[in-house]
Amino acid sequence: MSIMRGRGFVTIAVAGLVHGVFIASLAPANAGSPMRTSELPTADTHDKNSQNKNVETKIVGSSTVGQFARAVQRRLGAKGRSIIIEPTGTRGGVSLFCSSKDPHFAPVVMASSAMTAEEEAACAANGIGPIETVELGASGVVVIQKHTRRPIDVTNKDLFLALAAETPVSADDCRLTPNWRLTWSDVRADLPNWPIEVYGPPKSSGTRASFIDLALKTGAEAVPCLSDLKKREPSRFLKTYSTINSDGRWIDAGENDSVIVAAISRLPRRLGVTSFPMYKRHENAVSAARIEGEAPCEETIAAGAYPLTRVLRLYAKKTQWLRTKTPADS
Amino acid sequence: MASDRTPLHTIFRKKYVLGLACLAVLIGASQAVNYVQASRQNGRAALTKLASGQTALSQRIAFFANKIADADNSNDRAVLQSELRDAVDRMREAHDILTQSARGADSGSGSVSGVDQSAFMREIYFNRDAPFDAEVRTFLDAAERLARTDFEVDGSSVLLDEVNLLGMYTIMQTHEVLSRVIAYRTEQSVERAKAVQMALGVLALFVLVLEGVFIFEPTARFIRSNVQRLEASEERALEDAQKAMAANEAKSNFLRMVSHELRTPLNAVIGMSELLDNQSLSEDQRTYVRHIRKAGDHMVKLTEGVLTINRQDVGKLRLEKEDVDLHAELAAVIDQVLPNAEKKHLTLSVREGAKAQGVFVTDVVRFRQIAMNIIENAVKYTDAGAVRVSTDYIAEDGGGVFKVTVSDTGVGVPEDKRDVIFEEFEQAESQSERTKGGVGLGLAVSRRLANALGGDVRLEQTSRKGSVFSFSLLVERGAAHSSDRSINAASASDGARRRDKESTESKRKTILVVDDNLPNRMIAAAFLKNGGYSVLFAENGQEAIDIIDQNKDISMVFMDIEMPVMDGLAATKLIRARGEGGGDTPVVALTAHALPEDAESLKGSGFNEIVRKPATESVILKCAEQFARRSSAA
């Protein structure tokens, strides 16, 4: 695997290892189905009447974490074939995780951002729990562009001013007006004259949540009057930085990170938001923007110097964890 | 020039072909770009439409799935399920086409062809990590299960969640991105095509300019300069022609003048020798005088020959065709040559061709000239034997050929001279020529004249035992019998014989001879006195008028043309202007014009007759006999 290079990868490799152990624990001992993960799951998967053999287990959630899961699955070989990894996004995955009591459907959710209080409440309301949290390691959210030798260098504030639906009138006047900026040079004069058009994951995605939390929130805080607002009216501040403009500047490109890479590698002067591993795998097709002057790489992420660094997690239902873990250990 | 033009012509043609080919290639390329662009556009439009359709269908499927879950009764649910199945079928169908296109153009029917999107679409639909194809099918399968008739509400919530999640996010949004990228790339390729079109247009213009500079302009310049050169050379040629004409004119004027001037002294030489010949001389003296006379005659012929050739060179040879009895003319010529033949005891005979009888239309003066020349030559170069003349007529369409053949038993023409004898200023044998008195320009002049009359003069055959010359003229059959034009010539030789009879009748008649040249006056006076006339002299026209005023009994005038003080033409005009007072006095022009047609030009100037110098005694006396008025003296 190409990403298994350099010291910085240690973090992620550890995460993958933990994850692998975990997935291995999910695999039934008698796994030997000839079916490959890329093939369609059969209708039997959810059919209670046909659980007699080769039961497939579907795990859902972050596509970012999903890549590690797939790597582990490939290492497992035949044993991994009964596992189906379906990238639904962290938020979507958590939603499925909290609504399914089927031990073979979403017993585990891959998360590229932490569960929110609301999600925990929803899980509890559905009688799901207790929940085991496994921190896999650090990863990054990356702003990508078509491959170039000199990638764009933006600040969190730039990203906020470009993408937020409403922005303050000025640094001191916090009256919010609809975002009037159309090009990056509108945001900051020394940025290129590209249209603001960012392809990113949808609301169901943990990467998106991380991006909002890490980039836009920090960016909003960099505006003096909004920093005041945060102290005075936290909920309004939250709404301000987390409401992404939906008039074509931000384009939801689905949970599938490959789609974003494939699109950005063919769209010059446009930006995309994806996970660090996905960027790393397509380094010759896309380049990563510098954020606050820092380029994303294993070192900057491991050291936490790269601003958009976040922790990847797994959430598992404890009962099922225990139930499925036992035969795997044996 | 011609050798220069050919490669230039080729170069220009090659350049033109090259230029046209360049333009054709550019236009072809432009059309090809248009065509490819249009077909790609169509393919992309189809893909964009399909992808957008999938976006809408995924929303529709999610919508129906939720409705089914919420439906209160089985009837509603059945209708919704049917709608859902329908949407799923349509989406699956479109998905098949899209994935076929993603697999590439070689995947056969069902794909959208002519599109270069397959790499991008392959990356989306069939990437290793999370192939979109599998996601779409998972989504469609989940939706299809919701549409099943054995649907159970309890087991549907997870399926519904899955449909909702996939349908509202990944499926819809990925299709959206797909159509966006394709649209963007379409835009790009339209821009590129525009740029290519623009470049081709600019290139075409550039090629046109290049062609203008390197092909059209040089060609135009080449043509222009050639036209100018042509015009210049035409002008030069015109100038040269004018100069040549002027030079020729000067030459012929000079020749005319020289011949004219020669004839005046020749008149004296010939006239005086004739007069001397009639005196009582010793045998030696007579021989000398006759040689002088013969040399004079030869010189006269030379001047005529020179003028005739020159005349034909400058295109002034005037032919006057009329009805002529050619046999009568031939007889007259024979008559003239006969004395020479008799001297050598040659037989000179004529055999008239049966078909050659009758009257023909031709120029009689020329005919006489040619015939005289050929027959004279035959006699001249034959020392013993016979000269035979025969005629023939060969009828042809629109006329016929009158042919005269003259055969002799003479020395023949040496082989190396057979071609050159017809050339001007060439003689068969210069040594023998001197003894024979010289052929001069005779054959060359004869051939030129015969050519002018549509015929030729030929040496038919020749050997040491004799030659056969022939001449032919293109003639037409004449309508009437010939006039008695030939009488002058025919009867000229008779004049001397009749002299004695005339002289007795002409006594007491006074004739005025007007000539500025004393020897000429003396000759004319001697001839006329021999004829028994009394003679008065005037040295110019004015004197002549004065003498006529004083002497009413002048019966006729011999008038020279070119004289000082008043020339013959002016004097004659004045005489004619007198009316009753001597205005009808006969005036005979005595001109030094060497050629008959020049002498003819004096006709209509008031002269009763025109006589060319040198005039023999017989001619002078014949004129006197014809015109001297008997009445005035009586």
Full 3-state SS string of B240-303: HHHHHHHHHHHHHHHHHHHHHHHHHHHHHHHHHHHHHHCCCCCHHHHHHHHHHHHHHHHHHHHH
Q: Output the average pLDDT for chain B.
A: 79
CA distance B182 to chain A (A): 9
Residues of B in contact with A40 (CB under 8 A): 134, 137-138, 141
Judge: B172–A256 Cβ closer than 8 Å, yes or no.
Answer: no
- Out of A66, A204, A259, name the one closest to residue B132 (CB): A259
Report the residue from A89, A100, A199 with minimal CB separation from B169: A89
Reported as a single tens digit per residue, the pLDDT across B192-209 is: 888 888 888 888 888 888
- Nearest chain B CA: its distance from A52 CA (Å): 19
Percent of chain B topping pLDDT 90: 5
β partners of residue A315: A109, A133
How many angstroms separate the CA of residue B157 from the nearest CA in chain A? 8
Cβ separation B132–A256 shorter than 8 A: yes
Chain A / chain B CB contacts < 8 angstroms: 107
Q: Do the chains contact at A251 and B177, CB–CB below 8 Å?
A: yes
Residue A269 has pLDDT above 70, yes or no: yes
Query: pLDDT, tens digit, for every residue of A272-330?
Result: 999 998 899 899 999 999 999 999 999 999 888 999 998 888 998 876 554 444 333 43
Chain A residue closest to B121 (CA)?
A262
Give the mean model confidence (pLDDT) for residues B555-565. Answer: 86
Positive or negative torsion for Cα B309, B313, B318, B319: positive
Please give the structure tokens belonging to residue B214. 């390197």
Residue A89 near chain B (CB below 8 Å): yes
For an interface test with A, which of B126, B136, B181 has the most A Cβ atoms less than 10 Å from its Cβ?
B181
What number is the average pLDDT over the span B622-632? 71
- Cβ separation B170–A202 shorter than 8 A: yes
Arithmetic mean of pLDDT, B121-147: 86
Q: Does residue A102 belong to the interface with chain B, where contact is any CB pair within 8 Å? A: yes
Say if CB B359 and CB B436 are below 8 A apart.
Answer: no
pLDDT at residue number B427: 45
CB contact under 8 A, A258 and B165: no
**With an 8 Å Cβ cutoff, are B131 and A38 in contact?**
yes
Nearest chain A residue (CA) to B146:
A43
Distance to chain B for A76, nearest Cα, Å: 16
> What own/partner pairs with CB < 8 Å and gap ≥ 24 does B504-507 have?
B504/B532, B505/B532, B505/B625, B506/B531, B506/B532, B506/B533, B506/B624, B506/B625, B506/B628, B507/B532, B507/B533
Q: If contacts are CB pairs under 8 Å, which of residues 241-280 in chain A contact chain B?
A: 251-260, 262-263, 266-267
Residue of chain A nearest B124, judged by CA positions = A259
Prediction ipTM score: 0.71
Beta-carbon separation of A252 and B127 below 8 A: no
Whether residues A251 and B132 touch (CB distance < 8 A) is answered with: no
SS3 A148: coil
pLDDT at site B500: 45
Let me know if B614 is exposed, middle or buried by CB neighbors in 10 A (0-12, 13-18, 19+).
buried
Integer Cα distance of A237 and A239 in angstroms = 5
Please give the pLDDT value at position B112: 55
Condensed to tens digits (0 to 9), the pLDDT of residues B451-483 reads 888 888 888 888 888 889 999 888 888 765 444
